[in-house]
Amino acid sequence: MGTQRIEEHYIVTEPYYRVHGQELTIALAAYEHQIPLLLKGPTGSGKSRFMQYLAWKLGRPLITVSCHDDLSTSDLVGRYLIRGGETVWMDGPLTLAVRHGGICYLDEIVEARKDTTVVIHPLADDRRELPIEKRGEILSAPPEFMLALSYNPGYQSVVKDLKPSTRQRFIALELTYPSPDIEAEIVQHEAGVSKEEAEKLVRLAEMTRSLEDAGLQEGASTRLLIHAGTLIRSGIAPRQACKVTISEPLSDDHELVAAIDEMISSLY
C-alpha cells in the first residue's frame, strides 16, 4: 500500500458554517440512508464549507477532490508507483474514502473527464461498489462512506453523462446565496468587518447579481464579498477594494466592469 494517510482528513475543529435552510437536515438524512449527494450552486456559495461542516458533524474524514479537465479515473482510484525500486499501490482519494468510510467530495465535477463516470456509477447506485480494475479488486463501501458531487448547473457537466438511473439515486440540494441578513452575518464573521460594512457589500452583490440578465455570467459570490471586506478591513479604500475583488474578477468586458464600478460608486 502507498502512504496516503486517512488521519489527516479528519476535521478536528468545528468549521464556521451558517445553516440557512434545510441543507443540514437533508444531508444528514442522505447520509443515514446511504444516498449520495449532489450539491448544485454557483461558485463561492458555501458548498465546500458546508461539506467541511457536515464531515465534522458526522465525525468522518473528508476527502475533497478539486476536479479539473485532466482528472482521470486513475487519479480518483489510484495507481501503481515505483518507490525505491519496488512497485507499490497508491490509493487515490476516492479509494481512500471508500476504504475508511470517509466522505468523498468531488468539487466541480463538471470539470472532470467523462471516463470518471465509470467509477461514479457503481458507487452511486445500489451496489455501492468501487471497481479497482488495475488490482482486479472490487471494494464494497461501508455504510459510513458518502459520495458528494458539486456542480454549477450553468455549465456543461459530467453529471449530464451520468445515466438517469444513477442520477436519480442522488439527493440534489441547491445551495444558493443566503438571504441578505444572513449573508451579511457571514461576511461580517469571515472578513471581520462591521455589520454596516457587511450589509453594504451584500447590497453591492445583489446589484451585480441583477446584471446576470445583462450578460454577466455570475454575480458577486459570498466569497468575493469576503475578499472585499478583508481588503477594506486591512485599510484599502472601499472603492479600490471592491474594484479589485469584485468588478475586475467578475468580467473582462469593459462595459460590464464599468457598470459594476458605477454600482460601487453609488454605494461608496
**Rounded to the nearest 5 degrees, what angle is found at the Cα of 48, between the Cα atoms of 238 and 66?**
105
Give yes or no for residue 18 binding ligand ADP (CB under 6 A): yes
Q: Using CB under 6 A, which of 9, 36, 38, 47 touches ligand ADP? A: 47
Burial of 84 (0-12, 13-18, 19+ CB in 10 A): exposed
Give yes or no for residue 43 binding ligand ADP (CB under 6 A): yes
Binding region for ligand ADP (CB under 6 A) out of 29-37, 41-49, 55-63, 88-96: 41-49
Nearest approach, Cβ of residue 117 and ligand ADP (Å): 21
Q: Which three cell numbers stand for residue 202?
A: 451584500
Give yes or no for residue 227 binding ligand ADP (CB under 6 A): no
Nearer to ligand ADP, 156 or 176 (CB): 176
Site for ligand ADP in 166-195 (CB under 6 A): 178, 186, 190
Number of residues that bind ligand ADP (CB under 6 A): 18
Give yes or no for residue 245 binding ligand ADP (CB under 6 A): no
Q: Are 69 and 111 in contact (CB under 8 A)?
A: yes
Nearer to ligand ADP, 23 or 75 (CB): 23
Give the count of beta carbons closer than 10 Å to the beta carbon of residue 7.
Answer: 7
Binding region for ligand ADP (CB under 6 A) out of 36-44, 61-69, 125-133, 235-243: 36-44
Nearest approach, Cβ of residue 249 and ligand ADP (Å): 13
Nearer to ligand ADP, 46 or 78 (CB): 46
Q: In the 8-state DSSP scheme, what is residue 44?
A: T
> Rounded to whole angstroms, how far apart are CA atoms 4 and 88?
12
Binding region for ligand ADP (CB under 6 A) out of 75-83, 92-100, 221-229, 250-258: 221-229
Alpha helices in 12-108 (DSSP H): 23-32, 47-58, 73-77, 93-100
Q: How many residues does the chain have?
A: 268
Q: Are 50 and 62 in contact (CB under 8 A)?
A: no
Give yes or no for residue 40 binding ligand ADP (CB under 6 A): no
> Rounded to whole angstroms, how far apart are CA atoms 4 and 92?
8
> Rounded to whole angstroms, how far apart are CA atoms 84 and 190?
45
Nearer to ligand ADP, 16 or 80 (CB): 16
Give the count of beta carbons closer than 10 Å to the beta carbon of residue 203.
Answer: 14
Nearest approach, Cβ of residue 258 and ligand ADP (Å): 27
Give the count of beta carbons closer than 10 Å to the beta carbon of residue 217.
Answer: 14
The helix (H) or strand (E) run that includes residue 226 is: helix 222-233
Give yes or no for residue 46 binding ligand ADP (CB under 6 A): yes
Residues that bind ligand ADP (CB under 6 A): 16-18, 20, 41, 43-49, 178, 186, 190, 222-223, 226
